[in-house]
Structure 1
Amino acid sequence: MVFVLAILLLLPIVLLALWVLKVPSSPVEIRGRHILISGGSSGIGLELAKIAAAQGARKVTLLARNVERLKEARDAVAAAVSGSSDTEVGFVSADVLDRAGLRRAMAEAGDVDVLVCSHGISIPCAFEDARDEDLDTVVGINFMGTMNVVKAALPGMVRDGGVYPRSIAIFSSQAAQAGIYGFACYSGAKVALVKFAESLKQELFLRKIQISVIYPPDTDTPGLREENKFKPEITKILSESSSAMVAIDVARKAMDGIRAGRFNVSCNFDGHLLAILCTGMSPHMSVCYSLAEIVFLPVTRIISLFIQYGWYRTIRAWLIKHKKCV
């Protein structure tokens, strides 16, 4: 009885403290805005473009390297909203590692209201087997490429954006929240994006630019299908514990998070558990979500211990079976 009374007395104090400590955030409007999506020619990026157009974006610009695929994607977005939207759908071609090319592409596209960095690549393998050029590619495209896109778009975004805030959304991964065998380089690059975003949030929150980090799980896209062709067997076994989402569902979750101005955007139940477990120094932007983090952190930690135990047992058994132990 005393314990219950103590909880009832403390709860209002905790809620008040969380409300006072909350980092300011605002909803992000899509209707009538210019949305630019890197990696927009396929997968989640393409589905996000369709959603943005359906929600009344003034202009949707797709950014990728392959012009033919960009044309096909542009036509797919236009067809998806044909007759129901006046959205202008266009594209710009640039390599995310080419800073000069990105600056030209942004100048061609015009000032951006909502920037979505959904491009990425994974080349799974045991780290000791990774080729130097693959390490450069994974870190370059995922981390440096994202920084380059943001850097190129930012000058136009920090100008007066009117009544509604602008937004930068960065696609990380659940592999950044829980390292997995075969993803050492990929996970490292995606973790770096989270800290990049946390720093950007501090730099830009008074300039009416919201920051969101999206944590998709395995998603059925052309990239995942290509990745599965050479994924290590252990990685495949560990990945079987959770099913892949479809791109449109991830895109919907991502867009909901962007519009709400949330910093951490999870896409499924596992993602919410990982978000609580890995909250760290992420900005506190929701009283309810932060209360859930405080209450459920011990529980998620216990769950994670059992999951990690299972992973290490699986890895040990596979390595012993294939005589790969020292």
Structure 2
Amino acid sequence: MADTDLLFLALFIFLPIFLLMFLKLIVRPRPVKIPIKSRHVFVTGGSRGIGLALACQVATEGARVTILARNLDQLEEAKTSIRLSTGIDVAIVSVDVCDFVAVKEAVESAGPIDVLICNQGVYASCELENQDIKEIKGTIDVNLIGSFNLVKAALPGMKNRSDRKPVSIAFMSSQAGQVGIYGYAAYSAKIKRRPPLTRIIATSSGAMQVEEVVKKALNGIKSGSFFVPCNFEGFMLSIGTAGPAPQTSYLMAFIEVISVGVIRIVGLCFQWTWYGSIEKWHAQQKLLD
């Protein structure tokens, strides 16, 4: 009996240590720091909301900043806003990210980029059956194809810089990764147009202010992290969907390995709560009918 207890104790102690050592050996890429000061940071969707706040923050930290958006008037307002709050001028570029030729010309004229933040994004606050197919295609063009256009245009300059310090390409995720972000009028207006069930499910997650998102996102970019969750739900989602994704921290890899099963249970609990809310809503609608 004593030998059995000793064996279990040894497994309990040595198995996690062995796993940590193994992960430290195999985890790639190695950790890297992305400097911001005196470097060129290019922010898309930079005329308002999270993009504007990111541009303002990196300008404060000493970066040379270029912001890109479609609306020139909003870009001018954003430039003035950053100058008034920081005393720093930023460059502005009015381009549709869906137009690769225009994006390529804009990126080349801006000069080699050290940190590219793809923050542009659109979405429709309505049920799919009520959404126009052109709007669906427009969402894919801006959110997905637009990001491909930006990266393809920026990569040659990023690879051929004389400054050999580490560079970064960051993609601001959908609400799946950052649940409940509040920050500007256009977003608030879309919240009001949300389908009732979407509003019910969204209220199950904590809201975040733009400043919180910017701080966590920028810290994640500077630390070279592959996933940069901004709240607890996003953290769980990053673990649950890690799969074969890169991981720079062997300690974080250890957490992913030992907790993925638990996170799956937590995810199912979220689903159980959401289905309960849906069933309750449908029952209320039947009474109203």
Does residue 1:38 correspond to 2:1, yes or no? no
Structure 1 vs Structure 2 CA RMSD: 1.8
Does the 8 Å CA contact 2:28/2:246 hold for their aligned counterparts? yes
Indicate the SS of the match to 1:16: helix
Does the 8 Å CA contact 2:42/2:117 hold for their aligned counterparts? yes
- Aligned residue in 2 for 1:132: 133
| Percent of paired sites with the same residue | 36
1:128-174, CA deviations, whole angstroms, 9 ceiling, x for partnerless residues?
Answer: 22211111121111111111111121121111452411110011124
Distance 2:164 2:239 in 1: 32
Distance 1:3 1:71 in 2: 66
Distance 2:170 2:48 in 1: 17
Distance 1:308 1:267 in 2: 21
Consecutive unaligned residues in structure 2, runs of 5 or more: none
Does the 8 Å CA contact 2:225/2:247 hold for their aligned counterparts? no
Consecutive unaligned residues in structure 1, runs of 5 or more: 176-214
Q: For residue 221 of structure 1, what is the amino acid of its counterpart? A: G
One of 246, 250, 266 as aligned partner of 1:287: 250
- Aligned residue in 2 for 1:23: 28
Does residue 1:51 correspond to 2:57, yes or no? yes
Q: For residue 154 of structure 1, what is the amino acid of its counterpart? A: L
Does residue 1:61 correspond to 2:66, yes or no? yes
Distance 1:263 1:161 in 2: 25
Provide the TM-score with structure 2 as the length reference: 0.91
Q: For residue 261 of structure 2, what is the amino acid of its counterpart? A: P
Alignment of 1:136-285 (within 5 A): 136-175=137-176, 215-222=177-184, 223-285=186-248
Q: For residue 12 of structure 1, what is the amino acid of its counterpart? A: I
Distance 1:66 1:221 in 2: 19
1:90-136, CA deviations, whole angstroms, 9 ceiling, x for partnerless residues?
Answer: 11110011111111211221111000001111102222222111111
Does residue 1:7 correspond to 2:12, yes or no? yes
Distance 1:88 1:23 in 2: 38
Does the 8 Å CA contact 2:119/2:171 hold for their aligned counterparts? yes
Aligned length: 280
1:163-191, CA deviations, whole angstroms, 9 ceiling, x for partnerless residues?
Answer: 4111100111242xxxxxxxxxxxxxxxx
Tell me how far 1:261 sits from its aligned partner. 0.2
Q: Rg larger in 1 or in 2?
A: 2
Which consecutive aligned stretches of 4+ in structure 1 deviate over 4 angstroms post-superposition?
none
- Aligned residue in 1 for 2:78: 73
Distance 1:39 1:107 in 2: 18
Does the 8 Å CA contact 2:107/2:153 hold for their aligned counterparts? yes
Q: For residue 208 of structure 2, what is the amino acid of its counterpart? A: M
Indicate the SS of the match to 1:265: coil
Distance 1:281 1:224 in 2: 33
| Range with bigger deviation, 37-46 or 221-230 | 221-230
Indicate the SS of the match to 1:228: helix
